[in-house]
Amino acid sequence: MKRFVTLLLMLSLILTLGGVSGTVLAADEDWNAIAEAAKKEGLLIIYNPSSRMGEAAEGFTAKYGIEVEWAKMNDVEISDRVVREHEAKARGADVIVTEDAAILMAQLLPQGYVVNYVPSTHKDIIPVEYQDPLIYQFQPRIFGYNTEAYDESPIKNLWDLTTPEWRGKIAMRDPQFTSTNLAWFAEIVEAADEMAVAYEERFGEPITLTTPNAGWEFIKRLANNKPIMFNSDTSVAEAVGARGQAEPPVGLYVLSKHREIPAKNLALDACYGLEPYMGYLYPAYVAITANAASPNAAKLFVMYLLEEGVRAWTKDLGNFATDPRIPTHPDDPLGGTEAWAKVTMPLNAQTTVKYYGELFDFWMKHAK
């Protein structure tokens, strides 16, 4: 609780000051010299939330001969370890990857635990809006349904999820532990007017509010409808797509889980056409720790991740690099980030920071 209160205070400060900067926009750098210095540093340590980092790390080692240790942990665990190791002046991560904009912008960056670093190789390639904090990829998290039980998506409007028909039949990752779901709620609050229009389209009458606006009202009614909580997207996708179910749930999971459909024999597809949005598009950030023991290896890895390492993700459907030179997967049904941004809600770090703390309490209150 103390940690959460501290985070709320920092969120308030960020809003007062208007954002977080501290970006290191590197001038032209001598990458041969950086690579040589990195090899002398030896070990590179990475904390991140994805198992695919293993493939990226192997590629980095193969190219540069630098040993990499990487650990998979959730965003809260990453921030806690970085803070503890920084305060103790202990050897820890050199690079972190996180999906939690609130923790990154309200704690890790402004308090000097990490540094936002944009390599000189990419400062004119990565779109400027993705540089502060630095984003290396996007993923859509979308609603899906069971194609064995339904010929088409059984939900057409997000407000369907608040009806008695779907009570206890909505699978999703727990927002308590999935920061991007809270960030999605923040976007829904910001899009209150659209949510009000969608409500009237669904029910044929204007919404009656018990909360400040239609965004808050949707979140309250969704929580009251008792979604089924899971701790991974894999579990959500399997719960939705498992065969032999008479009344399977719909679910919110990352699009990349569709790559597992053949191997797991899942009956699974996305709820295309869901109004006003079929999910959300969220970023993954990369930063260097302020007390990195291998700072040159960290710089080299950030450059490598943007240019080559991200292909460990983009080789499969549902992952989009911020480097525009890296192509979209050929099986992508919509054609890339811009197309997905039109049918999902792109997450904005400032919006997340604006509502994060209040939404956490609000969800916990109504999900009981």
**Which amino acid, one-letter code, is at 200?**
E
Query: Where in 162-310 does DSSP place strands (E)?
Result: 170-173, 228-230, 250-254, 268-270, 279-289
Q: Is the pLDDT of residue 28 over 90?
A: no
Of 49, 66, 134, 137, which Cα lies nearest the Cα of 293? 66
Do both 131 and 155 map to the same domain?
no
**Residue 202 phi/psi, 5° resolution?**
-75, -45
Which residues make beta-bridge pairs with 77? none
pLDDT at 281 exceeding the cut of 50: yes
**What's residue 110's pLDDT?**
95
The verdict on 110 and 183 lying in the same domain is no
Three-state secondary structure call for residue 138: strand
CA angle 368, 242, 347 (to 5 degrees): 55
Asked whether residue 352 is assigned to any structural domain, the reply reads no
- Domain assignment present for 213: yes
Q: Quick one: 75 and 146 in the same domain? A: no
Domain assignment of residue 51, yes or no: yes
- Per-residue confidence (pLDDT) for residue 11, from 0 to 100: 41
Q: What is the pLDDT of residues 82-114, one digit of tens each?
A: 999 999 999 999 999 999 988 899 899 999 999
* pLDDT confidence band for 123 (50 / 70 / 90): very high
Residue 357 within any structural domain of the chain? no
**Residue 366 · residue 359 · CB < 8 Å:** no
Q: Return the SS3 of 229.
A: strand
pLDDT, tens only, 237-247: 999 999 999 99
Look up tokens 């809600």; give the residue: 345
Q: Is the pLDDT of residue 16 over 70?
A: no
Is residue 368's pLDDT more than 90?
A: no
Quick check: 349 pLDDT over 50? yes
In-domain check, residue 27 = yes
Q: Distance between CA 86 and CA 34 in Å, rounded?
A: 24
pLDDT reported for residue 177: 85
CATH code for the domain in which residue 108 is found: 3.40.190.10
Q: d(Cα 116, Cα 20) in Å, to the nearest integer?
A: 10
Domain shared by 90 and 157, yes or no: no
Q: Which residues constitute the domain of residue 304?
A: 2-137+281-347
**155 and 124 co-located in one domain:** no
CB 26 within 8 A of CB 117: yes
339-349 average pLDDT score: 93
pLDDT at 189 over 70: yes
Q: What angle do CA 164, 228, 280 make, to 5 degrees?
A: 90
Q: Is residue 228 assigned to a domain?
A: yes
Query: 176 and 240 share a domain?
Result: yes
Q: Is the pTM of this model over 0.75?
A: yes
Whether the pLDDT of residue 7 is over 50: the answer is no
Q: Are residues 169 and 263 in the same domain?
A: yes
> Tokens for 302?
């950030």
Count structural domains, the chain: 2
| Same domain (yes/no): 218, 233 | yes
Q: Is residue 293 predicted with pLDDT exceeding 70?
A: yes
Residues 113 and 198 in one domain: no
User: Are 224 and 329 within one domain?
Assistant: no
| 303 located within any domain | yes
Same domain, 30 and 49: yes
Q: How much is the average pLDDT of 300-312? A: 97
More confident residue, 203 or 367: 203
Q: Residue 23: what pLDDT?
A: 58
| Residue from 118, 162, 132, 140 nearest 24 by CA | 118
